[in-house]
Structure 1
């Protein structure tokens, strides 16, 4: 009788143990699944953040290059006495577009990148201010504001634009050895 009783208890205990073990395995599977989903969400969030930053960098870089190009065109027209309302309008449009991209960057980019972006922004706007004063007939009121000196700045400004681009690329993980433009 004792043996039969132990057999029955053993059989019942075995079923309970199997069920308990199955519940533990299922619980571990669910935990693993949840952890995997959390990691996927974290990865997707990071990827979306980097993609948004990349898009911000692209639009800012494009706006900076366009603004710089319009400043260069305006310099040539100012030097040759051929400034037109169309050129003024294009320059103002480039400035507005750059300001919009710069404003977006102020809210999105890391501080180390923003420092370089800010220097580019201030440099472009300094040139714009000088050109607007010269176009309005005002003589240069500070040293370095003659047409020739500003042209030197326009040419040299390529280095600042290149530095900004390199810093932005590094910020999103683009290797430096592919940074050739």
Structure 2
């Protein structure tokens, strides 16, 4: 009996081994497939994160470009208006251009309030207030309304307009830093 049991036991172990090796191969293949799927999902998540980050940065860049352009246009219109006021040649067309520039700047500023980081917004807010302060002074002088502040005069507003280039430059540099533009590219 012992002669027959040993070959049967070996045959049984061979069959079980063959079945187990197939099962183990299948389990190993499933694990590899799960790892591949997990890796693919992580890669897709990273790509989505990168695309979201890129789109956010691009939207911020566009916001900055629009705000910078509107600020420069508003400042330029203030300067044109000042020259016309000094020469006594203010027209309805000049008033309209100045008001349009102010509205455009306000629209871009409002968008920036919802989009830009707080540290950048502080500088943008200073520029917004400065432009509107000069606007108010020029409009009061144009309308013959008493000055809002002591010493508000045509010369004082001109001094503010000329000095304001520095604030516009500071705002531009802070916005550029915010989106990662290196200082040497300026």
**If the TM-score is normalised by the length of the shorter chain, which range does it land in?**
over 0.9
Distance change >3 Å, CA 141–CA 39, structure 1 → 2: closer
Give matches, 1:6-17, under 5 Å. Answer: 6-17=13-24
Residue 169, structure 1, aligned to residue 176, structure 2: yes
**Offset from partner CA, 1:7-51 (integer Å, 9 cap, x none):** 111111000000000000000000000000000000011111101
SS at match of 1:131: helix
TM-score, normalised to structure 1, is 0.97
Distance change >3 Å, CA 38–CA 141, structure 1 → 2: closer
Distance in 2, matches of 1:52 and 1:141, equals 38
RMSD between aligned alpha carbons? Answer: 0.8
TM-score, normalised to structure 2, is 0.94
Q: Tell me the equivalent position of 1:62.
A: 69
Residue 38, structure 1, aligned to residue 54, structure 2: no
Q: Tell me the equivalent position of 1:156.
A: 163
SS at match of 2:180: coil
Distance in 1, matches of 2:16 and 2:148, equals 102
Give matches, 1:87-166, under 5 Å. Answer: 87-166=94-173
Answer whether contact 2:137 2:148 (CA < 8 A) is retained: no
**Offset from partner CA, 1:41-83 (integer Å, 9 cap, x none):** 0001111110110010000000000000000000000000000
**Offset from partner CA, 1:100-139 (integer Å, 9 cap, x none):** 0000000000000000000000000000000110000124
SS at match of 1:142: coil
Structure 1 gap segments, 5+ residues each: none
- Equivalent pairs counted in the alignment come to 179
Answer whether contact 1:144 1:150 (CA < 8 A) is retained: no
Structure 2 gap segments, 5+ residues each: 1-7
> What is the aligned counterpart of 1:74 among 54, 75, 81?
81
Distance change >3 Å, CA 144–CA 170, structure 1 → 2: farther
Answer whether contact 1:67 1:91 (CA < 8 A) is retained: yes
User: Which structure is larger by alpha-carbon Rg, 1 or 2?
Assistant: 2
Shift of 1:143: 2.8
